[in-house]
Structure 1
Amino acid sequence: MWNGGAEDADANGKLKLERAAEYIDLLVHQKLVEGRKRDVGALLVYGSPETNNKLADEDEEQYKTVNLMRELGPFDLDFRYILERALPRGDEPGDFFDALVVAIEEIKVFCRELKYDKRIQLVTDGESFINPEGYEAIGNMLLNSGIALDVIGLDFDDPMADPPFVQEKKSNTKRTNEAFLEEFCNKYGGNLYPSVSADQDLRGFQSKKTKPAATFNGLITLGDPISSPDSSLQIQVKGYLKTGELKIPSAKKHSAIPTPADFEGVRTHIVTMKRTYSRAMEEGEDPNIPAGDIKTFQKEDLLSAYRYGRQLVPLSLADAEAMKLQSNKGMEVVGSLRVEDLRSIEFLLMNQVLMLVPASEGLEVVYPYHALRVALEASKSVLITRYVRIDDSQPKMGALWADLVDKCLYWCQLPFAEDVREFQFESMTALFQEVGAVNDSDVATGLSQLSPSNPSGTPSASGSRGTSHVTMSSTPIPASAPPTGATGMSSFGRGKRARFDRRKKLKAEVDAAMDDLITAMDLTKAGGIDENGERTEALPPSSVFNPGYQRLWAAVGFRAMHPDAPLEPPNPELLNPFLPREDITEAAREAAKRVAECFDLKFAEESADGRRKAKGKRKRDVAPAGAQGDGGAGAGVDDVRHADDGMGNELDDADATAKRSRVVGAASDGMKAEPSSHGNGSFSTVAASGTEDMSFEDMFREPVVGRVTAADPVTEFEAIVQSKLGGEQGFKTAIEQMQNVIRELAFYALDSSDFVKPISALKSLRRVSKIEQEFSSFNSFLASFKEDLTKSGATQMRKRFWEEMKKEHIDPIKSSEVEEGYFGEAMNDEVRQSFPTSNWY
């Protein structure tokens, strides 16, 4: 409801009617986004030039200027259109209680005796006279009908605002009405919101209110109630999801063609999707359908099938039923752990957290429940349980513990062996020691150390790939040895630090500086001031909103009302929680400076291509074949790290590491990388002995891909080609492997979705063959491959693959694609004959 002069403006020159419409529009927008489908609303204006309500029809002298603009019904865009474009304008006086009685009557007629959450929201400037006569009866009508009342007062005094708001030059009528409305709301359960506070709340971000729904209703069982009923316990509980990720809704398909359908009176462009199941028939499979024709199947005719190697194994409905695990709903305790034991595996907790509460308020349920909770708190224990949500569903293992704050039980799933992801990382042991210190444990972690027989610091390795034998000194360097800055060596000259250790100060100084930085960035006391005058936590989850979700609905709401206008930029407040806070940054400035002084840091400049490189880092060329580099003949691993990628692009750290790993992988097989005549970044391989130019950590890297397989043929093939490992023979072997993999993938494809990988492999093979001048090899393979796909008796799937090749324009390499003068004066007959002379397709 709204009451106020339509043409009255506020201090900023904005019409009060427009402000009131904005507040109601924000309420309607929230209903359109988050409201339930059964939510209904009406729009009532009093102080209107027109009168439109049922009570006024019965008594023409009463309820004047009360205009029911929209009857109770579902919220939709029309509601917002009325607020923006169709509100009446005028300065007619209106009675607050007349409008309130009309609103109560509308709700009572619509809801009858059904159970609804009923609410009246009034927006007023308080400038219209209110007749208080009989207000007690109307207040009792609100209470008896179960209707809540919210009043938003435009420019009402707000002492709780920050800063407090007090309207200047307030009229006596408004001052009287403010006091009366506050008294009325307090007496009859209403709420009065000054517009300053209401504006902040309505324009702020709104989170979806989810009605609690139990996802589990069953028993917690301790012991065996069948064989040992006297020593077992069963507690009936309900489980509610404590947290659940809010999924951003997916967009519906919308027809751009103007042929809307009529759906309950609303014209819509929503399209429906129909799914069909079909496949090409084989020769002799159905006498009524020619081979190659498509046959459509009903969903009821289909079976579930699982890929088993390269075949699909179908399972009948009986098989699917027999596959189900016979399990009974419930949560059975299988053992317990101490809380400190759970902390060692708490990072394994997965999925959503379940809050377990008593299923009823009966003492036979509440007492055992709280007895178990108190016992877990007192013993500091956690129960490991077997959880089955519904009968015959897959059982899960989980941890059950008592929460001291919420006074309830929580359960969270634990992973199975198949769910755990194991990753190997380089050991951080060196960072727990003094700078330059070494010990025997560094051998196992792969950290570089020195040997009295090897003063140069070069590890010695022998044996086949993956087997390394390193002789190291067991003499530790004293912890008191002072660091020498960025050199990475202690003053004894005996300990080579790990490559990731860039400390310039002693461990104690580094630890203290890092502790100070973490303390300076503490958020637990960085929030506002609570009612007790104490600092609160900053960025609690309840105050950090999902930016994608909020931005989506702000954009949708704007586009609904303004189809042609450009979208408004996102609210800056939306991203503030994800940006550094100025107060935290300033408080941590000195601590961060001390941390930076503890390490050998280099400023990273951004180059023109967007990559970052350390300031002062110089690109070094790879030494030519036979030249003496830092580590002897040929190119060392360090040279490869600073080389380009063969296409003129300087490698960053990640790319250099990847390229170096290929070279090192070959070196551990008795090969050594050496520059070829193709220029910087290209390498051939020559026989080598020992591990010249190889650092210790290089020997632990993943080996190079040695062959092309069906798993990832394009990546594996191009990795071998780029590395030039194996020389000319290795390249020809890779081409043969690629051709065999393409045949295998194409010939054993089960449906057209399996064509993606062989088609990509064909394109890669053609591209590489053209670059490496393997015209004859590729064209001969493609001709033979075409014959196998199109010959008489070939399966329909092979013929379909040939059609896919034609659609992708995969054809032999033509002579027109070869640069003029490439072959000189004469062309080899074999090469000439390999070029297509007629229409390939």
Structure 2
Amino acid sequence: MADKEATVYIVDLGESMADCHNGRTESDLDFGMRYVWDKISTTVAASRKTWTVGVVGLNTEETDNAQEREGLEGYDHISVLQEIGPMTMSSLRELRSTIQPSHNYGGDAISAIVVALSMIEVFTKKLKYNRRIILVTNGESPIDDESSEDVANRLNDSNIELVVIGIDFDDAEYGFKEEDKSSTKAKNEKILRKLVDHCSNGVFGTMAQAVEELAIPRIKSVRPFKAYDGPLTLGDPSKYESALSIHVERYFKTKRALPPPASTVVVNHEHGGLSQSQTLDGDTEMGGTEFSGVKHMRTYRVNDPDAPGGKRDVDFEDLAKGYQYGRTVVPFSESDFTVTKLETKKMFTILGFVPFSSYEPFLDMGESGIVVAQKHNEEAELALSALIHALHELESYAVARYVQKDDAQPQIFLLKPNPGIEDEFECLYDVPLPFAEDVRSYQFPPLDKVLTVTGNVLKEHRLLPSEDLKQAMSDFVDSMDLSTSGEDDEGKPVEYAPIDDLYNPIIHRMTQAIRARAVDPEAPIGPPAEILLRYSRPPEKLIDKAKPEIEVLIDAAEIKKVPAKAQGRRGRKEQVKPLSGLDIDSLLGESKRTTISMENSIPEFKQTLATATDDATVERAVKQMGEIVRKLIHDSFADLFYARAAENLRVMREELIGLEFPALYNKFLTALKKSILSGELNGDRREMWFKHIIGGHLSLITQDESEVSEVAEDEAKAFAR
């Protein structure tokens, strides 16, 4: 069962909270609510009914609390904005409208703590809860500390943690001190710090540090999940008395983390409201528009000439699975399908042992687990301890067959001993191993020699690195060593990018974006946190330090800058000139061709492209050739001119591939397809498209045919359908 939590946030809504201080462009209230909204939205995202939240407003215009209703004095301008209970998107939306600065500063912070304390005591009673009160204030309203010690004792008796986060409060450990602090604020800081010091479980901090730490992703803590509870065997205990059987429990050690999943929804414009809540029927409201979950429905049809429309619906129960065997399909009924399923029994048995030295780490697959002896079973603990120490002393791993439950797929595990010498915890760590079919063995040419067709071995070759290049690369790798590139708090060299500081940017960026959108659907989502991008690039200091080695490596490898790829090849082909150096075209008075005739379209098109000196000429030639193709299709009687049009299209395609202008052809063909299938070219011309263009392999130019094409193979196949 999840831990129960009861948290009450006390938010100062006084008049001074609307002001901006210390160079910030946002008010003290907005600055402090960054922390509060982040914590509350995290609770909403967890969707745990046992994580309850309450909110109390300090320095509000009205007064609304149980103490004031009972006639007690000193609780003016304190309002309960939300009673303790589970937090949902709808309650978060309602709470947002109440968090507004007032024109009052007559509330007392310690009295507000008493109100929150009473709320927690009434809600939690004597049950097991994690109790917490969080006060957010700028300390500008007067505080009466006459009963602060009594309040602290009451907090201790109820086992309530008190967290005071002050806006621009002094914090020597964080390194912040506010200049020109008012006397009221300085006095209140001392009062609140003294109150926290009297609490057995209290925290006092400044808001700047709290907001800064919000960017650090919070790792989700999970309870151990027992995946297996049964015997770990060596041999068959039912057949051999000498077989080993140890009652063990297996838990997950590492598990793949995934970003929050998204669901498909449809907008219902006829509904209004500014709420978001997941309902039983799957409807969700957010940002003034209601979303409904999409329900999928699938129908199955078969060809039936006797049925209306030529198709007949069939029930899912009448379907059978079929497996392709060559070019035929072999059907399997539900009863036959059981033959293909491997029947297994729940087991965890050791198959054998392998030495440490013969195992390659790259064989590790998937998530790891931890195997321990059954709880409160001394015999199992002693037997497992003996096995662990034996494996450790012999420097061997155990290989085991694991079936989590009956009829589950079997897995092969590698069991690594952990004798508890360093961490005083004896266990076996397991990782899945691949089956033979999972391992692909590829043979690549050697990197240190070249084998000729005659069998000679060459140690020096243009494809092999020289000794200077090897040394330069070795020096460069050494200069980029990360093991001592970081610095600790004292400035001493430590490892750069330790595992504990590496966070998955996809998961946490998605979580941050969802949290921001949930709190304020209208506000733009901020940039990614710096901590998520910190290790996405090499450290600048290390790059500057390694610059000499980089320059040496560039010289040794003879690295040169490659000029940018031109859009097309026109004008780059060297023109053949006569020995006399004379311009034959100008002497004969022949001007460059400007139009392409239908009667001699292919030679004239090639000639125009060969003499083109700019992109505009190529585009004009393609446009003219395209008009000729369209006219041939339009004027064709039946399929009379289809072959001629296809030949013109083939020449256009080949020439534009050679000139590296695939976009012109793809654009024309896309428009041509639309014209043919819509009947714009004088009737039904689909035969031209499917038989002569698609059947003649004249579809879009893909990246496999031209490097500058933006069309992938899958896109071309989809286009041809």
- 1:622 and 1:401 map into 2 onto residues whose CA distance is 71
Give the equivalent residue in structure 2 for 1:151: 164
Which residue of 1 is the match for residue 42 of structure 2?
30
The DSSP-based 3-state class of the residue aligned with 2:391 is helix
Contact preservation (8 Å) 2:346, 2:404 = yes
Structure 1 match to 2:364:
349
Distance 1:38 1:56 in 2: 29
Give the structure 1 partner of residue 688 of structure 2: 813
Conserved? CA contact 1:276–1:296, under 8 Å = no
> Are 1:294 and 2:277 matched, yes or no?
no
CA distance in structure 1 between the partners assigned to 2:80 and 2:270 by the alignment: 34
Secondary structure of the 1:523 match is coil
Tell whether 2:508 aligns with 1:550. yes
Of residues 289, 297, 302 in structure 2, which corresponds to 1:280?
302
2:445 to 426, 448, 465: 426
1:400 pairs, out of 415, 420, 423, with 415
1:577 shift after superposition: 1.4
Alignment partner for residue 474 of structure 2, among 515, 534, 548? 515
- 2:669 corresponds in structure 1 to none
Q: Which has the higher contact order (CA 8 A, sep 6+)?
A: 2
1:252 aligned partner: 264
Residues 561, 97 of structure 1: alpha-carbon distance in 2 compared, 3 angstrom cutoff: closer
Superposed displacement of residue 401, structure 1: 0.8
The residue that corresponds to 1:215 in the other structure is: 227
The aligned amino acid for 1:375 is A
- Using the TM superposition, give the Cα deviation of residue 68 of structure 1 relative to its aligned residue in structure 2, in angstroms: 0.9
| Structure 1 residue aligned with 2:719 | none
Matched letter for residue 355 of structure 1: I
Where 2:474 maps in the other structure, the secondary structure is: helix
How many Å separate the matches in 2 of 1:167 and 1:395?
64
- AA of the residue aligned to 1:597: D
Q: Structure 1's 229 and 92: CA in aligned 2 closer, same or farther, altered over 3 A? A: farther
1:225 is aligned, of 237, 249, 254, to: 237
Aligned residues of 2:13 and 2:102 also touching (Cα < 8 A): no
User: Could you say what secondary structure the match of 1:606 adopts?
Assistant: coil
2:484 to 508, 522, 525: 525
1:767-806 alignment, distance < 5 Å:
771-772=649-650
Return the alpha-carbon distance in structure 1 between the equivalents of residues 132 and 455 of structure 2: 80
Cα distance change, pair 279–259 in 1 and its aligned pair in 2 (3 A): farther
Paired residues of 1:510 and 1:595 also in contact (CA < 8 A): yes
Partner in structure 2 of residue 166 of structure 1:
177
Structure-2 change in CA distance of 1:606 and 1:571 (3 Å): farther
Residue 335 (1) aligns with residue 347 (2): no
Shift of 1:589: 1.6
Residues 3 and 336 of structure 1: CA distance in aligned 2, closer, same or farther (over 3 Å)? same
Q: Which residue of 1 aligns with 2:454?
A: 471
Distance 1:810 1:534, change over 3 A: farther
Contact 2:13 2:60 in 1 (8 A): no
Q: What displacement does 1:518 show?
A: 2.1
Distance change >3 Å, CA 77–CA 565, structure 1 → 2: same
> Against the structure 1 CA distance between its residues 386 and 93, is the aligned structure 2 distance closer, same or farther, given a 3 Å change threshold?
same
CA contact (8 A) 1:39 1:75 kept: no
Deviation at 1:239, TM superposition (A): 1.7
SS at match of 1:118: strand
- For 1:113 and 1:300, the matched residues in 2 are separated by 56
Matched-pair contact (CA < 8 Å) for 2:373–2:384? yes
TM-score by length of 1: 0.60
Q: 1:140 to 1:221 in 2, by over 3 A?
A: farther
Alignment of 1:694-705 (within 5 A): none
Contact 1:28-1:75 within 8 A present in 2 as well: no
- C-alpha contact (below 8 Å) 2:229/2:250 kept by paired residues: yes
- Matched residues in 1 for 2:300 and 2:189: separation? 72
1:373 aligns with 2:388: yes
- The change in CA–CA distance for 1:60 and 1:380 in structure 2 (over 3 A counts) is same
TM-superposition CA deviations, 1:435-493 (whole Å, max 9, x none)? xxxxxxx5xxxx33xxxxxxxxxxxxxxxxxxxxx43557xxxxxxxxxxxxxxxxxxx
Q: 1:500 — aligned with what? A: 463
Amino acid at match of 1:94: G
| Identity of matched residues, % | 28
2:15 to 3, 6, 26: 6
- What does residue 538 of structure 1 align with? 496
**TM-score, normalised by the number of residues in structure 2:** 0.69
Matches within 5 A, 1:234-249: 234-249=246-261
Match runs of 1:478-627 below 5 Å: 497-503=460-466, 506=467, 509-529=468-488, 534-560=492-518, 563=521, 567-571=525-529, 573-609=531-567
**C-alpha deviation, 1:2, in angstroms:** 1.9
Supply the distance in 2 between the matched residues of 1:314 and 1:807 (Cα, whole angstroms): 40
Q: CA deviation at 1:137?
A: 5.0
Give the distance between the partners of 2:152 and 2:126, measured in 1 at CA: 20
Q: 1:3 to 1:36 in 2, by over 3 A?
A: same
Query: How far apart in 2 are the matches of 1:114 and 1:300?
Result: 52
Task: Give the SS at the match of 2:506.
Answer: helix
**Aligned with residue 342 of structure 2, among 325, 334, 340:** 325
- Distance across 2 between alignment mates of 1:767 and 1:572: 59
Cα distance change on mapping 1:332 and 1:534 into 2, 3 Å: farther
CA distance in 2, matches of 1:133, 1:250: 53
Structure-2 change in CA distance of 1:409 and 1:185 (3 Å): farther
Q: CA deviation at 1:25?
A: 1.6
Q: Deviations over 1:709-743 (max 9, x none)?
A: xxxxxxxxxxxxxxxxxxxxxxxxxxxxxxxxxxx
Q: Distance in 2 between matches of 1:98 and 1:182?
A: 16
Amino acid in structure 1 at the alignment position of 2:179: E
- Structure 2 residue aligned with 1:87, among 100, 109, 128? 100
Displacement of 1:236 in angstroms is 0.9
Secondary structure of 2:248's aligned partner: strand
Aligned AA (2:312): I
C-alpha contact (below 8 Å) 2:131/2:161 kept by paired residues: yes
Amino acid at match of 2:357: E
Structure 1 residue 359: deviation in Å? 4.2
SS of residue matched to 2:301: strand
How much does 1:115 deviate? 4.6
1:679-715 deviations in whole A, cap 9, x for unaligned? 9xxxxxxxxxxxxxxxxxxxxxxxxxxxxxxxxxxxx
Following TM superposition, by how much is the alpha carbon of 1:621 offset from its aligned partner in structure 2, in angstroms?
A: 7.9
- 2-structure distance, mates of 1:807, 1:334: 67
Please give the alpha-carbon distance, in whole angstroms, between the structure 2 residues aligned to 1:7 and 1:304. Answer: 71
Q: Equivalent residue of 2:345, what SS? A: coil
Distance (whole Å) between structure 2 residues aligned to residue 549 and residue 82 of structure 1: 28
| Deviation for aligned residue 1:46 | 1.8
**Which amino acid in 1 is paired with 2:346?**
K
Deviates more, 1:46-55 or 1:567-576: 567-576
Q: Which runs of 5+ in 1 are unaligned?
A: 431-441, 449-469, 475-494, 612-617, 624-677, 680-764, 774-804, 819-841
Deviation at 1:769, TM superposition (A): 6.7
Alignment match, 1:436: none
Partner Cα separation in structure 1 for residue 647 and residue 126 of structure 2: 81
Question: Quick one: distance in 1 between partners of 2:264 and 2:533?
Answer: 27
CA distance in 1, matches of 2:232, 2:644: 64
**What displacement does 1:234 show?**
1.1
Matches within 5 A, 1:305-320: 305-320=322-337
Deviations 1:42-83 (Å, cap 9, x if unpaired)?
221122221112232122535322211122342326525644
Q: Is the 8 A contact 1:281 1:293 kept in 2?
A: yes
The DSSP-based 3-state class of the residue aligned with 1:18 is: helix
How far has the Cα of 1:189 moved from its partner? 1.2
1:102 counterpart SS class: helix
Q: Which amino acid aligns with 1:529?
A: D
Deviations 1:318-369 (A, max 9, x none): 4444543232323211111111111xx3212111222334442543344334
Relative to structure 1, is the Cα distance of residues 311 and 621 closer, same or farther in structure 2, using a 3 angstrom cutoff?
Answer: farther
Q: Classify 1:142/1:374 alpha carbon distance in 2 versus 1 (closer, same or farther; 3 Å).
A: farther
